[in-house]
Homo-oligomer: A and B are copies of this chain.
Amino acid sequence: MEADVRDEKGITVRKSEDFSEWYLQLVTKAELADYGPVQGTMAIMPYGYAIWEKIQEILNSKIKASGHSNAYFPLLIPESFFLKEAAHIKGFAPELFWVTRAGEREIGERLAIRPTSETIIYSFMAKWIRSWRDLPMLLNQWCNIARAEIKSTKLFIRTSEFLWQEGHTAHSTKEEAEEEVMRALGWYKELAERYLSIPVLAGTKSESEKFPGAVYTTTIEAIMPDGKALQCGTSHYLGENFSKHFGVNYLDKEGKSRNAHTTSWGISTRVLGALVMLNSDDKGLVLPPLIAPIQVVMVPIFYSDDDRANITKVAEQLKAKIERRGMRVRFDNREGRSPGYKFNYWELRGVPVRIEIGPRDLKDGGVVLIRRDTGEKRKVKNEELVGTLSKLMKEMQKSGLKRNRLLMEEKIFKAGSYDQFKDGVAKGFVKAGWCGSADCEARIKEETGATNRLVCTDEKKGKCIYCKKETETVAYFARSY
């Protein structure tokens, strides 16, 4: 048998030793993403994109079932649109890519590549909404977004272009808009926890950390193995801030013109970074079954052509059975690759369950199952295979979230003193009183590198960790990606 020229493709560092290098190797070697030629850009490779497609499927079903529609809006936004909302342009100006020429011509007003689409979408909503009958208007788009990154690139986590969905809705009342904000945040929390096994904290951002132009921003935040927070999705209540500048108004039932209350919410390919960081080990990915593009991989083991033919026949029959139960299965019958090569290949890619079938298994009328998460091996009779797999998928999905939840809880600290606070944010989230002032927030950031991630909802009383004032606000602080 030919040598496995790519056996060197495994990850060469430990997750616990060099987290950053381990992440880079995992993402590229498992063929999730690769660096592009322009600084800050990436390609999402087929295997990574297949995971993104699963996320799209999950969110689209929620988005559509609740009466939202997908649509598509222009990539290029005139500069004047950004200037209408002062906070918005201030927040995004440093990151905008500007188009100044088309062919040989100079463009009159320069055009920004969308960093987010509030302004351009409101210019359409202003035309499309006339009366209360047109509300709520519930739109969503799946698209690419560009934000020039000056800091060093990190695949999925920090790139100058990424993919996302952005929901944009207009409502006649504040209450209805605020419900929408929480509805979207709820989807994100469910996606993260139930499907991606990423436990998150949900809450509201501080004034300094909110979306530029929002009344307030809600967020879900996860904590990575290196103790840094990763924002996984945000949902904003924009009040009338945008609608008044863009003319998104409607005639109410009394014929009076009113500004709409708007919301926006988005989740991006960034969440794939969190998925990788949390669901993985030294050997590579450990995908939660619900999100895995391939849930079961079958690897044949044979020493003769006779064995090969017999094993292939049985494997194909079992594969068909597994598929009929709705599971995503691959039979890896590639020639010229050893079983060992295939084990490593699929372990790196995080396929939840591997099935091995060799000549002895054939004789016994069974197969060997290997769990990717625990490495546990067991023999299963062919007639019990589908049932066992189905149960195993549920079990693994549950235990993955449980494991990650414990890891998160271990990384949430309380701080009685500023010294304890500094210790804590070096390792994870710190829950601490905060007087609410942007000044204390800025000083904490400057001195410790930690930002205010979100305001706590279950605790309401404490002393500001910085200025010691009594306060009714408790917040989570952490360094972040």
A43 touches B69 (CB 8 A): no
* Residue from A42, A100, A103, A120 having most chain B Cβ neighbours under 10 A: A103
B148 touches A75 (CB 8 A): no
Knowing A94-B103, A98-B99, A99-B97, say if A76 contacts B44 (CB, 8 Å).
Answer: no
| Interface SS of A by simple majority | mixed
Give bound CA distance, A410 to B146, whole Å.
48
A97 touches B102 (CB 8 A): yes
A97 touches B76 (CB 8 A): yes
Copies in the complex: 2
Which one of B45, B127, B150, B336 lies within 8 Å of A71 (CB-CB)? B45
A72 touches B43 (CB 8 A): yes
Query: Which residue of B has the minimal Cβ distance to A102?
Result: B148
Which one of B37, B70, B94, B95 lies within 8 Å of A46 (CB-CB)? B70
Which one of B49, B70, B71, B73 lies within 8 Å of A69 (CB-CB)? B49
Give bound CA distance, A143 to B71, whole Å.
14
Query: Which residue of B has the minimal Cβ distance to A93?
Result: B103
Hey, what's the 0/1 contact readout for A147-168 against B, CB within 8 Å counting as 1? 0101000000000110100000
Tell whether A53 is near chain B: CB-to-CB under 8 Å: yes
Tell whether A144 is near chain B: CB-to-CB under 8 Å: yes
Tell whether A469 is near chain B: CB-to-CB under 8 Å: no
Give bound CA distance, A77 to B36, whole Å.
10
Q: How many A residues touch the partner, as a band?
A: 35 or more
Knowing A96-B103, A98-B100, say if A74 contacts B38 (CB, 8 Å).
Answer: yes
Tell whether A297 is near chain B: CB-to-CB under 8 Å: no
Tell whether A104 is near chain B: CB-to-CB under 8 Å: yes
B94 touches A104 (CB 8 A): yes
Tell whether A481 is near chain B: CB-to-CB under 8 Å: no
User: With a CB–CB cut-off of 8 A, which chain B residues contact A150?
Assistant: 103
Tell whether A440 is near chain B: CB-to-CB under 8 Å: no
User: With a CB–CB cut-off of 8 A, which chain B residues contact A38?
Assistant: 74, 76-78, 111
Tell whether A123 is near chain B: CB-to-CB under 8 Å: yes
Residues of A within 8 A of B (CB): 34, 36-38, 41-46, 49-50, 52-53, 69-78, 81, 93-105, 110-111, 113, 120, 123-124, 127-128, 133, 139, 143-144, 146, 148, 150, 160-161, 163, 336
What 17 new A-B contacts, CB under 8 Å, besides A43-B124, A50-B69, A72-B163? A36-B73, A36-B124, A37-B81, A38-B76, A38-B77, A42-B74, A43-B73, A43-B74, A75-B161, A76-B146, A76-B160, A94-B103, A95-B103, A96-B102, A98-B102, A105-B148, A143-B144
Task: List 6 A-B pairs, Cβ < 8 Å.
Answer: A49-B70, A52-B72, A75-B144, A96-B102, A98-B102, A105-B148
